[in-house]
């Protein structure tokens, strides 16, 4: 127990962090280009926030939340997703009064008590975006373009964008009624969960993985036939925008999503080759009633969240590794050790990664250590060199060596590394 993490949560070791940072940096660059600003909301929120927004009959709220009563008697939940908290903050801080359209992004851990497997964890991470304040289809296209651009930037292949429209509060009730009637006629074929949810949440039956439910709902009524004129036109415009931008997609009429706040456009980025990854790598949609539901002014919204763990599983191998130090100083003897410390400190304060050996081991073992650390260069300060006021700079790749005066080591190295960095940046 003491040395074992909780089931379904994961440590990210330094070698994992390299890839995570790469994704996070690409995401920040993309968000910047599309005008999304970062918001950081708390990991704990009042339980009622999630019940109200995600839906009391959703799997998340019914079965998966880490909800508890704290020592003061408050009902608290570890956030299972990011949208509810962002919308709560949007209303609480009246962000709608500052700008007609607010575009926000976030990154961070979410918590759901699901059965852990590859790409499904109990603490997982999302990168999410929410655009609030615009009802038109243009922002849907913008948000989908951002999502697909980000996947492109990361070189991710084997994903397909699937979209659907779930209608609005005017036309969805008619569809729900038709679906309910259809399901009632097949009640005995449905799993107990779907039987129980026919009243409150019949759409979930379309998404149920149980074989009986899949067979029973194969000819279920089609939402697209129930969309009212406004919803139909909105969906057509979204598709037109995606076509204009050459963003590939398919329409998945059975996509219902597991959260109750969605209206109109919904979408998922689905892994087509399922290489150990769960199906949806990212998902989202419109939630035009949510701000009002949480006590704010009637404000439309749309957003998505990417599952980081699932995304990382799909990231192409790029061989990036933890970078070794620019310089390793190998010094022999106490006086040389003091020089080593000064050189290392001088470089570090100029932002250059430098290491030295703390152990006072032999020069040979220090060189081995330098090699293992993947240092690009080693500065050797032996007793002889020290007596002559010089040090030997060895390039670990070419094995070339040169003597440089100890006095000017820091300035020489800083200048040289800056030139190298400038050249690297150009390429």
**Residue whose CB is less far from ligand HAM, 283 or 379:** 283
Q: Site for ligand HAM (CB under 6 A): how many residues?
A: 26
Minimum CB separation of residue 20 from ligand HAM in Å reads 14
d(CA 258, CA 260): 7
Torsion angles phi and psi, residue 346, rounded to 5: -60, -40
Report residue 332 as tokens. Answer: 């022999």
Q: Is 130 in the site for ligand HAM (CB under 6 A)?
A: yes
**Residue whose CB is less far from ligand HAM, 227 or 305:** 305
Which spans in 120-171 are helix H? 137-153
Q: Residue 260: how many CA atoms within 13 Å on its side-chain side?
A: 20
**Residue whose CB is less far from ligand HAM, 163 or 379:** 163
Q: Is 137 in the site for ligand HAM (CB under 6 A)?
A: no
**Residue span 231-270 as binding mask against ligand HAM, x where in contact by CB under 6 A, dash where not:** ---------------------------xx-----------
Torsion angles phi and psi, residue 355, rounded to 5: -130, 160
Q: Is 126 in the site for ligand HAM (CB under 6 A)?
A: yes
For residues 101 and 140, the answer to whether their CB atoms sit within 8 Å is no
Q: Is 289 in the site for ligand HAM (CB under 6 A)?
A: no
Q: Is 207 in the site for ligand HAM (CB under 6 A)?
A: no
d(CA 65, CA 63): 6
For residues 66 and 32, the answer to whether their CB atoms sit within 8 Å is no
**Residue whose CB is less far from ligand HAM, 81 or 142:** 81
3-state helix, strand, coil in the chain (%, to 5): 40, 20, 35
Q: Is 82 in the site for ligand HAM (CB under 6 A)?
A: yes
Minimum CB separation of residue 33 from ligand HAM in Å reads 19
Q: Out of 31, 36, 90, 124, name the contact with ligand HAM by CB under 6 A.
A: 124
3-state secondary structure of 320: coil
Report residue 372 as tokens. Answer: 């293992």
Radius of gyration of the chain (CA): 28
Minimum CB separation of residue 270 from ligand HAM in Å reads 9
- CA torsion 213-218-220-225 (nearest 10°) is 140
**Residue whose CB is less far from ligand HAM, 61 or 347:** 61
Could you tell me which residues come within 8 angstroms of residue 128 by beta carbon, excluding any fewer than 6 positions away? Answer: 82, 83, 86, 105, 106, 107, 284, 303, 304, 305, 306
**Residue span 165-204 as binding mask against ligand HAM, x where in contact by CB under 6 A, dash where not:** ----------------------------------------
Q: Is 81 in the site for ligand HAM (CB under 6 A)?
A: yes
According to DSSP, the residues that pair with 382 across neighbouring strands are none
Q: Is 140 in the site for ligand HAM (CB under 6 A)?
A: no
Under DSSP, the state recorded for 207 is G
Q: Is 283 in the site for ligand HAM (CB under 6 A)?
A: yes
**Residue whose CB is less far from ligand HAM, 31 or 124:** 124
Q: Which residue is nearest to ligand HAM (CB)?
A: 307
CB atoms within 10 A of CB 318: 11
Q: Which of residues 303-332 bind ligand HAM (CB under 6 A)?
A: 303-305, 307, 309-310
Which spans in 304-408 are helix H? 308-314, 334-348, 363-372, 383-388
Q: Is 285 in the site for ligand HAM (CB under 6 A)?
A: yes
Taking the alpha carbons at both ends of the chain, their separation in whole angstroms is 49
| Part of the chain binding ligand HAM (CB under 6 A), chosen from 67-75, 112-120, 373-381, 415-423 | 112-120
Q: Is 120 in the site for ligand HAM (CB under 6 A)?
A: yes
Q: Is 281 in the site for ligand HAM (CB under 6 A)?
A: yes
According to DSSP, the β-strands at 123-132 and 301-307 are antiparallel
Q: Is 59 in the site for ligand HAM (CB under 6 A)?
A: no
Residues that bind ligand HAM (CB under 6 A): 81-83, 112, 114, 119-121, 124, 126, 128, 130, 258-259, 280-285, 303-305, 307, 309-310
């Amino acid at each position: 127990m003491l040395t074992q993490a909780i089931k379904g949560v994961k440590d990210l070791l330094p070698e994992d962090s390299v890839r995570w940072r790469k994704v996070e940096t690409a995401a920040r660059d993309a968000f910047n280009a599309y005008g999304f600003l970062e918001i950081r909301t708390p990991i704990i929120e009042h339980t009622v926030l999630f019940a109200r927004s995600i839906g009391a009959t959703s799997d998340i709220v019914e079965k998966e939340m880490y909800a508890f009563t704290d020592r003061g008697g408050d009902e608290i939940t570890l956030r299972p997703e990011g949208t509810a908290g962002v919308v709560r903050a949007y209303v609480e801080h009246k962000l709608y009064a500052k700008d007609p359209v607010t575009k926000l992004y976030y990154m961070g851990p979410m918590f759901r008590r699901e059965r852990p497997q590859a790409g499904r964890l109990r603490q997982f991470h999302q990168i999410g975006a929410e655009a609030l304040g615009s009802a038109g289809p243009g922002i849907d296209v913008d948000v989908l373009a951002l999502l697909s651009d980000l996947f492109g930037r990361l070189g991710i292949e084997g994903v397909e964008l699937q979209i659907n429209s779930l209608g609005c509060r005017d036309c969805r009730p008619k569809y729900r009624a038709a679906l309910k009637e259809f399901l009632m006629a097949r009640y005995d074929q449905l799993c107990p969960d779907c039987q129980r949810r026919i009243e409150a949440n019949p759409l979930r039956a379309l998404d149920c993985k149980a074989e009986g439910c899949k067979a029973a709902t194969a000819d279920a009524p089609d939402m697209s036939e129930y969309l009212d004129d406004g919803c139909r036109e909105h969906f057509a415009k979204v598709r037109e925008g995606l076509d204009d931008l050459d963003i590939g997609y398919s329409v998945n009429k059975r996509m219902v999503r597991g959260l109750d706040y969605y209206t109109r456009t919904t979408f998922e980025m689905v892994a087509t080759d399922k290489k150990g990854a769960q199906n949806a790598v990212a998902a989202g949609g419109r939630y035009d009633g949510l701000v009002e539901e949480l006590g704010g002014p009637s404000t439309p919204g749309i957003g998505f969240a990417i599952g980081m763990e699932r995304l990382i599983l799909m990231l192409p191998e790029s061989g990036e590794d933890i970078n070794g130090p620019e310089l390793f100083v190998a010094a022999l003897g106490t006086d040389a050790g003091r020089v080593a410390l000064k050189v290392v400190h001088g470089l570090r304060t100029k932002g250059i990664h430098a290491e030295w050996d703390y152990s006072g081991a032999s020069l040979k073992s220090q060189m081995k250590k330098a090699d293992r650390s993947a240092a690009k260069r080693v500065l050797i300060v032996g007793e002889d060199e020290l007596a002559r006021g010089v040090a030997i700079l060895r390039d670990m790749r070419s094995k070339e060596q040169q003597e440089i005066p100890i006095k000017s080591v820091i300035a020489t190295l800083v200048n040289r590394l800056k030139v190298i960095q400038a050249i690297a940046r150009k390429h």
